[in-house]
Amino acid sequence: MQKKNNKIFEIDDTVAVSNLTECKYSTVITKIAEEKNHLYNDFKYQIITLITIFLFASAFIFNTPSEIVEGMKAILVSPSTLVTDYFLISNIGSALFNSAVITFVGIFLARVNKVEMNGALMAALFTLAGFSFFGKNLYNTWGVLAGVYLYSKFRNEAFNRYLIMGLFSTALGPLISCITFGLNLNIYLGFIIGNLAGVIAGFVIPPLSCHFLIFHKGFSLYNIGFTAGIVGMFFMAVLRGLGYEIESTVRVITGMNRPLGIFLSMLFLLLLLTGIVQSRFKIKEIKLLLKKTGKLPTDFMSDTSIGIILINMSLLGFMSMAYVILLGGNFNGPVIGGIFTVVGFGAYGKHIKNVVPIFIGVYLASIFNVYDAGSTSALLAALFGTTLAPVAGHFGPLYGIIAGFFHMSMTMNVSYLHGGMNLYNNGFSGGFVAAALVPLFNALRK
């Protein structure tokens, strides 16, 4: 009996040792995988950092350090309502410097809070960089971010869960700048009220954005833009009730297509070459990306290599440039901001297949209405109108053209509601268009 027990013990010991070995092996494999993911995440951060360094260096090619400092002063005290071209009110170097510094801040906050570099974060950083050419600056972004941070503490949740939302929420930066510098208030009173309004706006955006996602069913990529439009509309209603009226004007720089075109071409060429090398020249894999609808939440980085994504982003950039040039438009702060946003969302919902129908729809609308297709307003409707790319991706090109057509008319009329306080006016418009058309398209398909 003792021998039997010994055999039993021997078998048990063998199993235990085997399980221990498997456990150790599994732990090693897990650690290797984690280290590999960590290195891959670092690489993605390095790419966006390299792009930001490119912006920073380009600033000093266009203007001298003293000119950039003077230009930054003009940017910081600007009311910054839609549409304020920082290229025009300061200079190109200052606008590039402003964009680079704010993007560095976004990268730093993401790094410190250990946010994974996914498609949403990449889109947020490119959007941050783009809108820093015409509305976002180092003064008017902090109040909104503080409001989002306070909401995370109110919910007793980590800020990294809300940081991406916070970066997008800086769309309401003009609310702070306009109250501080645009209402003829005492500068100290304007500072307090403006930043208090920004904090309140940042606090309410997270819960509202989750609710409004249901409104358009994820068919508008700029969900925060729609939310910010609603919030901005409420603030604008209060200001108008107090007797303040905000004038929205479009004043942009002209005659700079050649230097700015070279700047954009170099940037997108850098993305393209990096993508080709990183994908090991397997460019055919982009076909898999083109099959995705882009409907929220569609994170291309979760199941597509960074190389293919960079190629997609560069192609979107070149295509957007071509659209502007073919229609005789101007490269200015707002238009370049629109191009940057299209490129950024190349990691989070947009590709050349679902963007083209929107371009066509907006262009067709401009033929039949009073808006010049090559004007800045019409170009912005096309570029930012690609928020509706999931409509084309999900229902097909014809439906995308219809969505683009209606978006053109809608976006020209809704800016009055928020008085230019919301920089993502096309996101606001796109939410309404998607909410109205998607149920109809579903009915037609059935």
Q: What is the pLDDT of residues 338-375, one digit of tens each?
A: 999 999 999 999 999 999 999 999 999 998 888 888 99
Is it the case that residue 3 has pLDDT exceeding 50? no
C-alpha distances out from residue 169 to 10, 103, 425, 445, Å:
64, 14, 13, 35
Q: At what angle do helices 333-344 and 376-384 cross, to 10 degrees?
A: 10
Q: Give buried/exposed letters for 399-411 (b at 16+ CB in 10 A, else e).
A: bbbbbbbbbbbbb
Instruction: Pick the closest to residue 377 from 86, 129, 85 (CA basis).
Output: 85
pLDDT (0 to 100) of residue 302 = 83
Instruction: Pick the closest to residue 389 from 328, 430, 429 (CA basis).
Output: 430
Percentage of the chain lying above the pLDDT 90 cut: 69
pTM over 0.85: yes
Q: Is 12 exposed, middle or buried (0-12, 13-18, 19+ CB in 10 A)?
A: exposed
Write the DSSP string, 156-189: T--GGGTHHHHHHHGGGHHHHHHHHHSS---HHH
* Distance of alpha carbon 57 from alpha carbon 66, whole angstroms: 15
The number of residues in the chain equals 446
Q: Which residue has the higher pLDDT, 248 or 55?
A: 55
Confidence of residue 11 (pLDDT cuts 50, 70, 90): very low
Is it the case that residue 13 has pLDDT exceeding 70? no
Q: Give buried/exposed letters for 44-53 (b at 16+ CB in 10 A, else e).
A: bbebbeebbe
* Distance of alpha carbon 290 from alpha carbon 87, whole angstroms: 35
Taking only the tens place, the pLDDT of each residue in 32-51 is 556 667 778 899 999 999 99
Q: Which residue has the higher pLDDT, 247 or 119?
A: 119
Q: Is 177 exposed, middle or buried (0-12, 13-18, 19+ CB in 10 A)?
A: buried
Is it the case that residue 77 has pLDDT exceeding 50? yes
Q: What are 20's strand-pairing partners?
A: none
* Distance of alpha carbon 195 from alpha carbon 406, whole angstroms: 36
Confidence of residue 23 (pLDDT cuts 50, 70, 90): low
pLDDT (0 to 100) of residue 2 = 46
Domain ranges of the chain: 48-241, 266-445
Cβ atoms 305, 43 nearer than 8 A: no
Cβ atoms 79, 175 nearer than 8 A: no
Taking only the tens place, the pLDDT of each residue in 264-297 is 999 999 999 999 998 887 777 788 889 898 888 8
* Distance of alpha carbon 428 from alpha carbon 430, whole angstroms: 6
